[in-house]
């Protein structure tokens, strides 16, 4: 089947998505109505908001917490690939170049702590969400072997022991060298959100779904059908703070992702995929991938600016299908069962935006990746309880105290052209 035929076959699911791990709503919650009071009101029920509620309780917070989500918990998370790694957007060498060695290492360690925090929550609540520690490969192009060595040395210094493999043979050879880490992880992102919601709910958090918020002000959250008076308000989500007038203007980027049908053991071995793992490319357009518990291969990336996405979307989808065959020559477009799109809302330095905008309102915004969102929730929970997180200054919303990235015009030009679909 040709690429265009495959895209037409999958178009219905792209318009009315039925993602591989779309959660069921057997435990759907009521929407908010009326008036109430809480010590803390959390707006946003995905990774960051649930993490903030979980860490508040875990830190011994004894007040009341209400959490409101405009959709169903887990639905937005279903668009994620569920890869837990500290190099979601940038390698450690890139972070050190942008922010200096000290802050670069701190950003890396923050994400690593985010992964550890997820593992602790999964273990604590005995969650069924597919969490597993799994190796990850960061592929480098020919001529970048020295970069791979530099990356290994920095990762080793951070405590992330790394091996460099020359001419790796994962699937088809997709890089000259690969930096292999064995302590990254994979998860079903939708089910993790649902399970974490059940956990904090069991610990006393009041959760409301399908409850859009109209506005926030110190001490008050106004919803479509009522209001919550709260001592502290947390606005959590990639775009939530900005949408409610409390965050930075985000850059909207659209990505694409696909998942194959479940492959048999023999098919996986023939394709060069013999275990659960994740992988990342270093070139542009940027691609990543993973295997799943039920034997599927997922490929994602080909990011473009949301403004141009409607114009270049077909090209984006065809690139993704070609990349599947490039990585795994035995797999073709006919093997693809799902394809969907997702949006990221990030700021220029690709760090989360975290802090107190005005007294009583804390924000967690623009976190590019599940580990970043998770650790950002913990940073805010610590701040509310008077504890100082080592990551607070790096993520702080204030431009004056926030880490500043160095400009690399060549890299920024290549990235900009890639995001325009070239």
Domain spans of the chain?
Answer: 22-79+191-248+350-404
Of 340, 353, 251, the residue nearest 304 (C-alpha): 251
Tokens 């394809």 sit on residue? 339
CA torsion sign, 120 to 125 to 126 to 131? Answer: negative
Burial class from Cβ neighbours inside 10 Å (0-12, 13-18, 19+) for residue 77 reads buried
Instruction: Answer yes or no: is pLDDT of 420 > 70.
Output: no
Q: Does domain 22-79+191-248+350-404 have CATH number 3.50.50.60?
A: yes
Given this model, what pLDDT does residue 26 score? 63
Average pLDDT over residues 153-160: 84
Q: How far apart are CA 243 and CA 323, in angstroms?
A: 35
Q: What is the 3-state secondary structure (H, E, C) of 7-23?
A: HHHHHHHHHCCCCCCCC
pLDDT-based confidence at 348, cuts 50/70/90?
confident
Identify the residue with better confidence: 50 or 174. Answer: 50
pLDDT-based confidence at 401, cuts 50/70/90?
very low
Given this model, what pLDDT does residue 187 score? 96
3-class SS of residue 316:
helix
Name which of 36-50, 197-211, 280-294, 405-419 the model is least confident about. 405-419
Alpha-helical (H) ranges within 141-289 are 145-158, 189-202, 240-243, 265-271
Read off the tokens for 194: 């649902």
Given this model, what pLDDT does residue 4 score? 63
Q: How far apart are CA 300 and CA 257, in angstroms?
A: 4
Given this model, what pLDDT does residue 24 score? 64
Q: What is the DSSP string of 150-193?
A: HHHHHHHHHT--EEEEES--SSS---SEEEEEEEEEE--HHHHH
- Residues 175-193 have pLDDT tens digits of 556 778 888 999 999 999 9
pLDDT-based confidence at 97, cuts 50/70/90?
confident
Given this model, what pLDDT does residue 326 score? 82
- Residues 204-226 have pLDDT tens digits of 999 999 999 999 999 999 999 99
Read off the tokens for 13: 């699911």
Instruction: Answer yes or no: is pLDDT of 296 > 80.
Output: yes
Q: How far apart are CA 69 and CA 210, in angstroms?
A: 6
pLDDT-based confidence at 87, cuts 50/70/90?
confident
Read off the tokens for 197: 């919601």
Burial class from Cβ neighbours inside 10 Å (0-12, 13-18, 19+) for residue 367 reads buried
Of 313, 255, 254, 231, the residue nearest 66 (C-alpha): 231
Instruction: Answer yes or no: is pLDDT of 84 > 70.
Output: yes
Measure Cα distances from 396 to 169, 348, 393 in Å.
41, 14, 5
Of 128, 174, 151, the residue nearest 279 (C-alpha): 174
Identify the residue with better confidence: 271 or 292. Answer: 292
The strand ranges marked E within 27-146 are 34-43, 65-68, 83-84, 132-140
Q: What is the CA radius of gyration of the chain?
A: 21
Indicate left, alpha or beta for 90 from its phi (over 0: left) and psi (-120 to 50: alpha): beta
pLDDT-based confidence at 403, cuts 50/70/90?
very low
Measure Cα distances from 221 to 33, 65, 397 in Å.
12, 13, 21
Give 186's strand partners: 83, 132
Of 351, 355, 282, 291, the residue nearest 324 (C-alpha): 291
Average pLDDT over residues 268-279: 80
Instruction: Answer yes or no: is pLDDT of 129 > 60.
Output: yes
Instruction: Answer yes or no: is pLDDT of 165 > 80.
Output: no
Instruction: Answer yes or no: is pLDDT of 249 > 80.
Output: no
Given this model, what pLDDT does residue 409 score? 45
């Amino acid at each position: 089947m040709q690429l265009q035929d495959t895209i037409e076959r999958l178009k219905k699911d792209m318009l009315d998505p039925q993602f591989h791990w779309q959660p069921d709503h057997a435990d759907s919650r009521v929407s908010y109505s009326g008036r109430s009071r809480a010590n803390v009101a959390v707006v946003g029920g995905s990774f960051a908001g649930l993490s903030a509620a979980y860490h508040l309780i875990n830190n011994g917070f004894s007040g009341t917490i209400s959490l409101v989500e405009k959709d169903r918990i887990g639905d937005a998370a279903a668009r994620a690939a569920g890869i837990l790694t500290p190099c979601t957007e940038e390698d450690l060498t890139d972070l050190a170049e942008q922010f200096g060695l000290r802050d670069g290492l701190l950003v890396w360690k923050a994400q690593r702590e985010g992964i550890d925090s997820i593992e602790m929550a999964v273990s604590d609540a005995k969650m069924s969400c597919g969490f597993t520690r799994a190796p990850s490969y960061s592929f480098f192009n020919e001529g970048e072997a020295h970069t791979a060595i530099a990356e290994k040395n920095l990762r080793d210094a951070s405590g992330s022991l790394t091996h460099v493999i020359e001419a790796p043979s994962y699937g088809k050879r997709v890089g000259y060298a690969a930096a292999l880490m064995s302590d990254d992880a994979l998860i079903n992102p939708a089910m993790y959100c649902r399970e974490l919601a059940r956990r904090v709910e069991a610990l006393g958090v009041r959760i409301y779904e399908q409850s859009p918020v109209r506005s926030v002000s110190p001490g008050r959250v106004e919803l479509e059908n009522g209001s919550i008076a709260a001592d502290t308000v947390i606005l959590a989500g990639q775009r939530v703070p900005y949408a409610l007038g409390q965050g930075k203007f985000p850059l909207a980027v659209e990505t694409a992702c696909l998942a194959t049908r479940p492959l048999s053991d023999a098919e996986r071995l023939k394709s060069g995929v013999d275990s659960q793992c994740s992988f990342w490319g270093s070139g542009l357009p940027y691609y990543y991938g993973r295997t799943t518990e039920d034997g599927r291969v997922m490929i994602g990336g080909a990011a473009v600016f949301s403004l141009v996405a409607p114009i270049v979307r077909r090209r984006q989808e065809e690139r993704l299908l070609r990349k599947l065959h490039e990585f795994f020559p035995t797999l073709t477009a006919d093997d693809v069962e799902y394809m969907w799109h997702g949006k990221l809302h990030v700021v220029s330095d690709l760090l989360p935006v975290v802090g107190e905008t005005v007294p009583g309102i804390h924000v967690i915004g623009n976190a590019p990746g599940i580990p970043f969102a998770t650790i950002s929730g913990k940073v805010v929970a610590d701040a509310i309880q008077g504890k100082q997180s080592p990551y607070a200054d790096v993520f702080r919303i204030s431009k004056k105290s926030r880490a500043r990235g160095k400009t690399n015009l060549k890299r920024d030009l290549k990235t900009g052209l890639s995001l325009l679909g070239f």
